[in-house]
Structure 1
Amino acid sequence: ARRRAALEGTPARAGLLRAGQVVVGAVLAALAVVVPLQLVEPRSLTGAVDWWGQEAGYGALQMVPRLFGTPLLPVTSTLVAVAGWLVALGAGAWLAARPGRRPGVVQLAAAMTGVVALTAPSLSVQSGLWLLPLLALSSRPWWEHLLWASVETVHFLATWLHIAFASDPGRGLPPETYGLLIVLRAAAWAWILWRVAEEPGADPA
Structure 2
Amino acid sequence: MPTSTRLTAPSRREEPAALATGIIGGPVGRFAAIGRRGWTYAAATLSALASVLVALGVLQKNHCVRDGWGSPGALWRACYSDLPVGSGGPKGGTPWSAGGAGHTQPVLTAILDWLVKQLTPSGSALATQQIYFAIGTVVIVLLIALTTVATASMVRGTPWLAAHVALSPVLITSALVSFDIFGVALATVGMALWARKHPVAAGICLGAATMARTYPLVILGAITLIALRDDARRPLVRCLGGAAAAIVACLGLGYAMGGDPLEPYRGWWEQDAGYGAPAYLLTVAHASLPAASLSIIAVLGWVVAFLLGLYLTGRPPVRTQLAPLALTMLVIVMLTGRSMSVQSCMWVLPLMGLVALRWREHLMWAGVEIVYFVMTWMYIAGPSNEAKAMPGAAYSFFLLIRVIAYVGIAWASWESSEDLPRDPVEPYAAPKPPAPAPRLTPDAA
TM-score normalised by structure 1 residue count: 0.81
1:38 aligns with 2:38: no
- Give 1:34 deviation, angstroms: 3.9
Seen in structure 2, the aligned counterparts of structure 1 residues 181 and 48 have a Cα distance that, compared at 3 Å, is same
Per the TM alignment, residue 30 of structure 1 is displaced from its structure 2 partner at its CA by 5.9
The 1:156–1:35 alpha-carbon spacing in structure 2 relative to 1, beyond 3 Å, is farther
Q: Hey, what's the Cα distance between the residues in 2 that align with 1:56 and 1:109?
A: 24
Matched, 1:189 2:406: yes
Contact 1:96 1:103 in 2 (8 A): yes
Higher helix proportion:
1
The whole-number CA distance in structure 2 between the counterparts of 1:204 and 1:194 is 27
Q: Tell me the distance in 2 between the aligned counterparts of 1:106 and 1:66.
A: 34
Residues 142 and 71 of structure 1: CA distance in aligned 2, closer, same or farther (over 3 Å): same
Deviations 1:58-105 (A, max 9, x none): 111010111112111111111100000011111111111221111111
Q: Secondary structure at the match of 1:54?
A: coil
| Corresponding residue for residue 97 of structure 1 | 314
Query: Aligned partners of 1:204, 1:187: CA distance in 2, in Å?
Result: 37
Larger relative CO (CA 8 A, sep 6+): 1 or 2?
1
The unaligned stretches of length 5 or more in structure 1 are 1-14
Alignment partner, residue 179 of structure 2 = none
Pick the aligned partner of 1:70 from 272, 287, 293.
287
- Aligned residue pairs total 190
Q: What amino acid is aligned across from residue 162 of structure 1 in structure 2? A: Y
- Structure 2 distance, partners of 1:140, 1:157, is 25
Q: 1:35 to 1:180 in 2, by over 3 A?
A: farther
Matching residue's letter, 2:402: R
Q: Does 2:391 align with 1:170?
A: no
Give 1:36 shift: 5.5
Match of 1:18 in 2: 229
Contact kept, 8 Å, 1:52 with 1:78, in 2: the verdict is yes
Amino acid paired to 1:103: T
Root-mean-square deviation (CA, aligned residues, Å) is 2.8
User: Matched residue of 2:388: which SS?
Assistant: coil
CA distance in 1, matches of 2:286, 2:231: 44
Question: Is 1:134–2:351 an aligned residue pair?
Answer: yes
> 94-103 or 75-84: which moved more?
94-103
Identity of paired residues, percent?
Answer: 34
The answer to whether the 8 A contact 2:355-2:414 is kept is: no
Distance 1:102 1:69, change over 3 A: same
Note if contact 1:106-1:134 (Cα within 8 Å) is conserved in structure 2. Answer: yes
Compared CA separation, residues 33 and 180, structure 1 to 2 (3 A):
farther
TM-score, normalization: structure 2?
0.39
Q: Secondary structure at the match of 2:271?
A: coil
CA distance in 2, matches of 1:46, 1:75: 17
**2:304 pairs with one of 87, 100, 119:** 87
Q: Structure 1 counterpart of 2:393, which letter?
A: E
d(CA) in 1 for partners of 2:308, 2:232:
14
Q: Is 2:323–2:354's contact at 8 Å kept on the other side of the alignment?
A: yes
Judge conservation of contact 1:19–1:96 (CA < 8 Å) in 2.
Answer: no
Q: Partners in 2 of 1:112 and 1:34 — Cα distance?
A: 22
1:154 is aligned, of 371, 376, 385, to 371
Q: 1:137 and 1:81, CA in 2 relative to 1: closer, same or farther beyond 3 A?
A: same
Q: Which has the larger radius of gyration?
A: 2
